A = this chain, B = another copy of it.
């Protein structure tokens, strides 16, 4: 078994399988009808991705013949797969994550519920909030250093980024409150 090298789509699938075993078709439905659709979706991506997860020992499939329809291939996570997911969501947040893929971070967050305890979730949110704050500082510096140009589009685009990040940081701080109880017991020592 090779060192599992999984793409974002792979993680998204694995996370969904951990919530509940599903067929490739069911996964496609999820990607088509929810905001997760970002991690597209076409059969040409899903089915090969499932095959890879199975090859790498992170998921396993069994055939369901019980319906009159075409037999389904139902995938679920393996023990290894769950451990792998847990490891993934528990990684410390790097600056790079904040800069390039907040989406990835949110994907990790949305799967944490059944994988880690509130303390880990709390730490994640806290790291996210402070990571964003740091980066917002940098962006504001860029804004300051930006020469005043005639078309204001560049400056405005930067401001858009800043306000988006701010909103995300606010959300994180709000969300922290929902996981504070367990974390506080920890801090009171």
- Interface of A toward B, CB cutoff 8 Å: 34-35, 37-38, 99-100, 106, 109-114, 121, 139, 142, 149-154, 156-161, 163-164, 166-168, 170-171, 175, 178
Question: Chain A contact residues: over half helix, strand or loop, or mixed?
Answer: helix
Q: What's the nearest-Cβ distance from chain B to residue A153, in Å?
A: 4
- Chain B hits for A154, CB < 8 A: 110, 113
- Chain B hits for A37, CB < 8 A: 99-100
Cβ of B171 and Cβ of A163 under 8 Å apart? yes
Copy total for this chain: 2
Cβ of B158 and Cβ of A35 under 8 Å apart? yes
Complex-state Cα separation, A167 to B149, whole angstroms: 25
Cβ of B170 and Cβ of A139 under 8 Å apart? no
Q: What's the nearest-Cβ distance from chain B to residue A83, in Å?
A: 18
Cβ of B163 and Cβ of A109 under 8 Å apart? no
Known: A111-B153, A153-B110. Contact between A159 and B171, CB under 8 A?
yes
Cβ of B161 and Cβ of A164 under 8 Å apart? no
Cβ of B139 and Cβ of A35 under 8 Å apart? yes
In the A-B complex, list the 6 residue pairs whose CB atoms are closest, starting with the nearest: A113-B151, A167-B167, A113-B153, A110-B157, A160-B171, A163-B167
Closest to A172 in B: B160
- Chain B hits for A167, CB < 8 A: 163-164, 166-167
- Chain B hits for A100, CB < 8 A: 37-38
Cβ of A109 and Cβ of B38 under 8 Å apart? no
Q: What's the nearest-Cβ distance from chain B to residue A178, in Å?
A: 6
Show 11 residue pairs from A and B whose CB-CB distance is below 8 angstroms, ordered by the A residue: A109-B153, A109-B157, A112-B151, A113-B151, A113-B154, A114-B151, A159-B175, A160-B168, A163-B167, A163-B171, A167-B167
